[in-house]
Structure 1
Amino acid sequence: MKKLILIFVAVLAISCGDSKKEDANEIKIGTQVEETTPAEVTDGAVANVTIEGNDQMKFNKTEIRVKAGQKVKLTLNHVGKMDVTVMGHNWALLTQDADMAAVGQASAVAKDTDYIPSDMADKIIVHTKMLGGGESDTIEFDAPAPGTYVFMCTFPGHYALMQGKFIVE
């Protein structure tokens, strides 16, 4: 556990960089551009969403918009190079009543279940598998009822930086 905390602190220190607002649609973080506009490309009935996670513990999207009941095909690409045991990423969609910090803390000690805590299964609507650098996973699900939901990475400590809004209209 001490090793994991040390790795987290080192990665956090490295990832803290100069960030400034470029315009209303993007924020430049180092050399990465983070999208703050809706993320989906809709081809009628299916919302195709691609989201990236990197070695700096960042998703490239902070907001995803879909229609209630719409089929969502979400692909998570881990564009970093670090191994899943050091810098693993997944994408988890929480229920509206879920406490993100509680899910994040429970996830940190759920290594045996790929950082998806079994005692919080009722707070997670859907999730990808845990990925290492260069890997990707695609999931399909029906968008829940209208409202704003939180998505996050459940790898230990990542939820603090790797989170966003999943808005269902």
Structure 2
Amino acid sequence: MKRTKYGVMLLASVLAFGAAAINPVDAKIPSAKTEVSDVKQTKAIVIKGTDAMQFDLKEIKVKAGQKVKLTLVHAGKLAKTAMGHNWVLLKPGVDVAAFGSKAAAARETEYIPKSEEASIVAHTKLVGGGESDTVEFTAPKKGTYTFICSFPGHYALMKGSFIVE
């Protein structure tokens, strides 16, 4: 009879231990290995530019070091020679008006001035009505950055904040 009593207690212990091993919440086993950090996930962003010289987003937030996949969609109908748009992320401290002035003279390079490449974090190519372009990059260090369209004169209206947390 004693063997049966101990056998039942042993069986109950094994079953309790087995249940704890199967259910990590009950066993207080941390689940950190299954959690995915925001930084490891690519942030997909779609921003639209219109024939009215407007971006549909004025603010974009990402995490420092996060992979970013940004797609610019020209939602208008005008050709890129008349109403082209691009998306240019500038480094902190860049004088937007001075950059825009140099960009206006850079028609051959789709309004991305060669002399200012060190001032740019990332940019799309120039697109016209109905077109789109995608750029992939890693978000820079924490801070607030300015994004613009560098087509002549557009930066005054087509700009926003790229916030890296």
Tell me whether the two structures share a fold, i.e. TM-score over 0.5. Answer: yes
- Distance (whole Å) between structure 2 residues aligned to residue 168 and residue 43 of structure 1: 11
- Distance (whole Å) between structure 1 residues aligned to residue 156 and residue 93 of structure 2: 18
Flag the structure with larger Rg. Answer: 2
- Distance (whole Å) between structure 2 residues aligned to residue 140 and residue 44 of structure 1: 14
- Distance (whole Å) between structure 2 residues aligned to residue 161 and residue 64 of structure 1: 16
Q: Match of 1:58? A: 54
- Distance (whole Å) between structure 2 residues aligned to residue 119 and residue 44 of structure 1: 33
Secondary structure at 1:86 match in 2: helix
Q: Which structure has more strand as a fraction of its residues?
A: 1
Identify which of 108, 116, 119 aligns with 2:115.
Answer: 119
Aligned residues: 128
Q: Match of 1:133? A: 129
Q: Match of 1:49? A: 45
Q: CA deviation at 1:44?
A: 5.8
Identity %: 56
Consecutive unaligned residues in structure 1, runs of 5 or more: 1-41
- Distance (whole Å) between structure 1 residues aligned to residue 62 and residue 55 of structure 2: 18
The 1:43/1:78 distance shift into structure 2, 3 A limit, reads: farther
- Distance (whole Å) between structure 1 residues aligned to residue 40 and residue 74 of structure 2: 27
* 1:131-166 residue CA offsets vs partner (Å, 9 max, x unmatched): 000000111100000000000000000000000000
Where does structure 1 differ by over 3 angstroms across 4 or more consecutive aligned residues? none
* 1:63-111 residue CA offsets vs partner (Å, 9 max, x unmatched): 0000000000000000000000000000000000211111101000100
- Distance (whole Å) between structure 2 residues aligned to residue 43 and residue 148 of structure 1: 17
Paired residue type of 2:162: F
Question: Does the aligned pair in 1 maintain the 2:39–2:66 contact within 8 Å?
Answer: no
The two structures, once aligned, show a CA RMSD in angstroms of 1.2
- Distance (whole Å) between structure 2 residues aligned to residue 77 and residue 44 of structure 1: 25
- Distance (whole Å) between structure 2 residues aligned to residue 43 and residue 53 of structure 1: 27
TM-score relative to the length of structure 2? 0.76
TM-score relative to the length of structure 1? 0.74
* 1:36-60 residue CA offsets vs partner (Å, 9 max, x unmatched): xxxxxx7961111000000000000
Consecutive unaligned residues in structure 2, runs of 5 or more: 1-37
- Distance (whole Å) between structure 1 residues aligned to residue 96 and residue 141 of structure 2: 19
